[in-house]
Amino acid sequence: MVTLRLTAAQALVRYLEAQLNEDGERIIAGTWAIFGHGNVAGIGEALHGAKDRFPTWRGHNEQTMAHAAIAYAKQSGRKRAMAVTTSIGPGATNMVTAAALAHVNRIPVLLVPGDVFASRGPDPVLQQIEDFGDGTVSANDCFKPVSRYFDRISRPEHLLTALPRAFRTMTDPADCGPVTLAFCQDVQAEAYDYPESFFEPKIWYQKRQRADEGELARAVAAIKAAKKPVIVAGGGVHYSDATADLLAFAEAHNIPVAETQAGKSALAWDHPLNLGPIGVTGGEPANDRCAEADVVIGIGTRFQDFTTGSWGLFSNPERVLISLNTAAYDAAKHGAMPVQADAKAGMKELTEGLSGYKAEGTTAAAKADWFTKVDAQTDAPSEGNALPTDMQVVGAVQRASNEDTVAMCAAGTMPGELHKLWKAPRPGAYHMEYGFSCMGYEIAGAMGIKMAQPERDVICFTGDGTYMMANSEMATAAMMGISFTVVVTDNRGYGCINRLQMGTGGAEFNNLLDHAIGGENSSIDFAKHAEAMGATSLKVSTIAELEDALAKRHDVKGPYVVVIDTDPYPSTEHGGTWWEVAVPEVSERTEVNEKRTAYEAALKERNEL
């Protein structure tokens, strides 16, 4: 057997270089790294040796550089991913939030935090977490509940089994998610005679699981009996490259489609069968159809509470829930009739069984009425000194957008407004991280999207609260000359949660700066801050000025930040459905008690479904 003597870290990098997708592209595009004593000597030396073949990017925060990697993989349709390496201790634990985000959203990312010495000779080392009852525990055990596959590399030869398992996880549609390889720092530097064959190029093909015949037959029978079916399209439609298949399936059987946050843009917004957004942040066309549907066909969705209205949306007592999903866990949720299969393969087999079936009716009137209501909210104000609304900001960006625009966001007010109002012209035009709804994903995520698809016009929506949580990768984007646009809506605080607080009967407290201790002293110039990190930035006062600023974005190299003050109180009144948020059972506030009564009534109605 021919062998190569390499350090374990060198072997890791060489293996990553050789793993290809079916398009012949390297699956791991490169590595984000912040070096420390747990990875600089071993992994750092190995990455330096491969720097002309395998890029290493320097981030400013472990969590946000992992967010950039996750956004890259999401926008790449999970066909490509990135690795992220950190030191032990705080460098590693900073990544745990990003791991959770990837886990919830089923996104591949390879996390390689440094770990303690396998030899335990110098224990406890700097930043080491010591468990008084378990000598095998380190800070990296925090990754276990938020990793799809976790391994601790405490011998060089562990890579021979750990790395193939890692790639099987990241490339498997059902198990896809974050992989954590906690890499003991002394082992990184140890040499081993690895088989040369271990580093031969390997192609990982996309698995397309076909449906069980029995599950398929039962689903076909249920759909054939349906008078008012509806499809709920989730992110799995995109990851399966099944948007064209969804279009063909919906048209063949005249079944309207509702889109989740992850599924939005699966169909063009103006397609007659696209009912638009579903659920808590949904519109009336989709929600009304879902409420009366006798068969609900979920395709690639995990049926999050925002999608289902906390399971109060599908209110037809005779309704049948069908879940077409690669993951058995998701396919069987809430007593659904499971069809465990790839979205593309599953729809093909369903349509073969449904030959000749077409649902009756049209949804054109409902869509027309919906747009009549909401389009007016996105119009620019005619006159006056009132602060612009978030809806008007969405309208301004929409008017400035084109076929190549990717609208992206993650948390706060804008996800709800964008789900309802944004008109996505084609697949991939809408990138929302709403599985974890992680504040701080936006700026790093926009950078990751642009790295995945440099030809796209990436526009990031972020609020002032989210901007303050994680903005450091703005400096990374400026340093690397990565161009995208950030629209910062400054409503002086956490406007979305303030409205939820008020909506559950609470007093305005500790969300908007005006209701926080010392908040009256806060005066943050976001445009100057972004400029200080290397971005081109400006502050605008009106929607007209915002549109003028957006028109100039293509002339800017690097990140372009436009800040506008907005009103924290208005939101789109139309659409939406109930969302279960527990209201205190007793309170001194009359408003809370009234909301509790309404909450109990809604619970009773939901539980009787």
The reply to whether omega before 124 is within 30° of 0 (cis) is: yes
3-class secondary structure per residue, 69-125: HHHHHHHCCCCCEEEEEECCCHHHHCCHHHHHHHHHHCCCEEEEEEECCCCCCCCCC
pLDDT at position 363 is: 87
- Dist. CA 394–CA 422, nearest whole Å: 7
- CATH architecture observed for domain 3-204: 3-Layer(aba) Sandwich (3.40)
Residue 320 pLDDT exceeds 70: yes
What class does CATH assign to 213-366? alpha beta
CB neighbourhood size of 204 (10 A): 17
CB 28 within 8 A of CB 19: yes
Straight-line distance from the first to the last Cα atom of the chain, in angstroms, rounded to the nearest whole number = 65
Instruction: Please say whether the structural domain 379-565 has been given the CATH code 3.40.50.2300.
Output: no
Q: Write out the residue limits of the CATH 3.40.50.970 domain(s) in the chain.
A: 3-204, 379-565
- Residues 6 or more apart in contact with residue 177 via CB below 8 angstroms: 102, 103, 106, 107, 108, 147, 148, 169, 170
Nearest alpha-carbon partner for 445 in 455, 553, 434, 114? 434
Structure confidence at residue 380 as a pLDDT band (50, 70, 90) = confident
Average pLDDT, the chain: 97
pLDDT tens digits along 466-511:
999 999 999 999 999 999 999 999 999 999 999 999 999 999 999 9
**According to the model, what pLDDT value does residue 384 have?**
67
At residue 267, does pLDDT exceed 90?
Answer: yes
pLDDT tens per residue, range 231-263:
999 999 999 999 999 999 999 999 999 999 999
- Asked if 126 and 154 count as a contact pair (C-beta separation under 8 A), the reply is no
HEC-encoded secondary structure of 337-351: EEEECCHHHHHHHHH
Tens-place pLDDT, residues 88-128: 999 999 999 999 999 999 999 999 999 999 999 999 999 99
Q: Are 563 and 537 in contact (CB under 8 A)?
A: yes
Question: Where, residue-wise, is CATH 3.40.50.1220 in the chain?
Answer: 213-366
Sign of the Cα pseudo-torsion (528, 531, 533, 535, in order): positive
Alpha helices (H) in 379-425, listed in sequence order:
390-400, 414-421
What does the pLDDT average to over 512-529?
96
pLDDT given for residue 383 in this prediction? 65
Q: Which of 178, 194, 200 is nearest to 20 (CA)?
A: 200
pLDDT band for 552, please (50, 70, 90 cuts).
Answer: very high
Task: Determine how β-strand 3-7 pairs with β-strand 191-195.
Answer: antiparallel
pLDDT of 443:
98
Return all residues near 521 (Cβ < 8 A) that are at least 6 apart. none
Distance CA 538, CA 76 (A): 31
Confidence band (pLDDT; 50, 70, 90) for 386?
confident
- Kindly report, residue by residue over 172-183, the tens digit of the pLDDT: 999 999 999 999
Flag whether pLDDT at 329 surpasses 70.
Answer: yes
Q: Which helix (H) or strand (E) holds 284?
A: helix 284-292
96: amino acid identity, one letter: V
pLDDT category of residue 269 using cuts at 50, 70 and 90: very high
Rounded mean pLDDT, 130-155: 97
* Total Cβ atoms within 10 A of residue 214: 8
Q: In this structure, are residues 587 and 505 in contact, taking their beta carbons and an 8 Å threshold?
A: yes
Looking at the predicted structure, is the pLDDT value of residue 385 above 80?
A: no
Q: What is the tens place of the pLDDT at every residue in 555-595?
A: 999 999 999 999 999 999 899 999 999 999 999 999 999 99
